[in-house]
Structure 1
Amino acid sequence: MTTADTLPLAPLPETPKKRRRYIGWAIAAGVLVVVVVIGAFVAESVARGIATDRIHDELVTGLALEADHPMNIDLGGGSLIVQGLAGTVDSVHIAIDDVPLGDIVGDIALTATGIPIDMDKPVATVDATVTVDAANVEKLAGSVEGVALDSVTLGDGVIEVAATLEALVFSIPVSATVAPSAADGQLVLAPQSITINGTSTGVDELRDGPLGSLAGGLFGQQSICIAQYLPAILTLEGVDVTETAVVLDFSGDGAVLGADDLAAKGTCH
């Protein structure tokens, strides 16, 4: 056979080594991504757990609660790790039921924003509400000086109190409409109207009359110190009354939330 008669050889098929290599790298990259995601998730979960435990412990100290007192702590959305690296946590929402306030208990809801990782630095804002239900408000009846109350009823923005005054051989039913307010860390109860034996009359007139000596506490302004049961960083700003509860509004903008600061109780002037 001559050279001209030689048939060309077909090229050998290319081996799939490169394709297998690409597939291997893709799988490895996918596994790496999964590992990173899982690691980030675990790290975020651990960070939130540590932060939640610390906040719980700080509040247990600040509110003089039992170590296992339940509370709901919400650290908000977004990555806590990223926020921590920036030095500030965006927001924290906390709900604590049955917080002792002297002879009564109340439910506390607290929201703080701009919380520094360094607890010795001030937060941006702190807003808190203390909700005292009707049953606990009735326990405050003993706080009215000079008179024993028969009943305490919550209304729309006011508190209705009733008592029976004893004058010689007479028993005189008396009721008062009280408007609560806040002043110097205290819950102030000031009578707005008085009803004696079914007849409405002026507060000043009764206070200066013969019945004034029998129930001066009912006719005069009364103050109940709430600040002494709460951290001094919280200032009572307002009071709202509904038919089911008295809601006390507090603020603490610029407060420092370290344990020592939370442990210091407020005072009334």
Structure 2
Amino acid sequence: MAGKRRGPGCLILCVVLVGLLVGAYFLADNGLRAFAEGQAEQQIADALPASVTGDMAVSIGGVSVIAQYFSGSFDHVELTAPQLTVDGVPASVRIVATDVEPKLGGTIGHVDATLDLTPETLNSLAHEAGTPPETQLVLGRDVVTYAGTLSVAGFPIGYQASATPSVTENALVFTPTAAEVTTDLGSLDVSAILPTVLGQAPISVCVAKYLPAEVALSTVDVTPDRARITLESSTMVLTKQSLATLGTCS
């Protein structure tokens, strides 16, 4: 009879011990997560070139960091840097990496990122790329407008053009798709300049030289407040050379 009375007590004790062990595991796991995130932030900051400044935060997803570590890769790692500056160019950055080997020099399965540029930043980049200083890009919903002048019979004729944004692997491109004359010359017909405006070379803004060479632009979305570029890579590794080797534009 005494043995039977001890049965429920032993069962309760086992449940309590299991609960304590599970709790200790998750406490250790959460502690390791915070440590791993801090180490990742430091390693990335150390690997970036000196021209990159700004605070960043790393978050490791998934249920168990311990289990992911021993499996050889983290399922989901997210980096956010809302006020990053690259060579004096400010931008807001969000990066999501999957299948990340938890070591310096480890491979990354895939990287998806967004880069938000303010209108001021976009114009600064455009002027650096050769767009005339007086040309100001005005962002709209999936469109960019800008003003310019052409000389017709010795007269400066003003115009306003609308351009559609797109990307190549390394640059933002704004292709003129519509235009109107803004200079009033009375009865003089200056509409003939519009085909010239539409035939102008697109405005190209090199972005690759601010990004690791392994990253390519994939899409762009424009609103009045910002130009959001999406980026991707399937060949990046966590090394100083990989992060510090920047792309180029032809």
Q: Could you tell me the TM-score, scaled by structure 2's length? A: 0.79
Deviation at 1:132, TM superposition (A): 1.2
Q: Does 1:244 align with 2:244?
A: no
Change in CA separation of 1:247 and 1:177 when aligned onto 2, cut-off 3 Å: same
The residue that corresponds to 1:92 in the other structure is: 77
1:156 to 123, 137, 141: 141
Write the distance in 2 (CA, Å) between the matches of 1:84 and 1:153: 47
Write the distance in 1 (CA, Å) between the matches of 2:113 and 2:191: 37
1:41 to 20, 26, 51: 26
1:177 to 145, 158, 162: 162
1:1-269 → structure 2 map (5 Å cutoff)? 18=3, 25=10, 28-30=13-15, 32-60=17-45, 61-62=47-48, 64=50, 65-66=52-53, 69-140=54-125, 142-143=127-128, 145=130, 147-149=132-134, 151-163=136-148, 172-197=157-182, 205-206=196-197, 219-269=200-250
Post-superposition CA distance 1:113-145 (Å, at most 9, x none): 111234434322111110112343343453363
Write the distance in 2 (CA, Å) between the matches of 1:91 and 1:250: 17
Contact 1:193 1:202 in 2 (8 A): no
State the superposition RMSD in angstroms. Answer: 3.3
Contact 1:63 1:231 in 2 (8 A): no
Contact 1:194 1:201 in 2 (8 A): no
Q: Could you tell me the TM-score, scaled by structure 1's length? A: 0.74
Query: 2:94 is paired with a residue of what secondary structure?
Result: strand
The structure with the larger Rg is: 1
Higher mean displacement: 192-201 or 250-259: 192-201
Deviation at 1:84, TM superposition (A): 1.3
Structure 2: which amino acid aligns with 1:245? R
Structure 1: which amino acid aligns with 2:62? G
Write the distance in 1 (CA, Å) between the matches of 2:157 and 2:193: 17
The residue that corresponds to 1:216 in the other structure is: none
Deviation at 1:155, TM superposition (A): 1.7
Runs of 5+ unmatched residues, structure 2: 184-189
Higher mean displacement: 93-102 or 166-175: 166-175
Change in CA separation of 1:155 and 1:146 when aligned onto 2, cut-off 3 Å: closer
Query: 2:105 is paired with a residue of what secondary structure?
Result: coil
Structure 2: which amino acid aligns with 1:62? L
Query: 1:109 is paired with a residue of what secondary structure?
Result: strand
Contact 1:88 1:116 in 2 (8 A): yes
Higher mean displacement: 40-49 or 178-187: 178-187
Query: 2:234 is paired with a residue of what secondary structure?
Result: coil
What percent identity do the matched residue pairs reach?
26
Change in CA separation of 1:117 and 1:206 when aligned onto 2, cut-off 3 Å: closer
Aligned length: 242
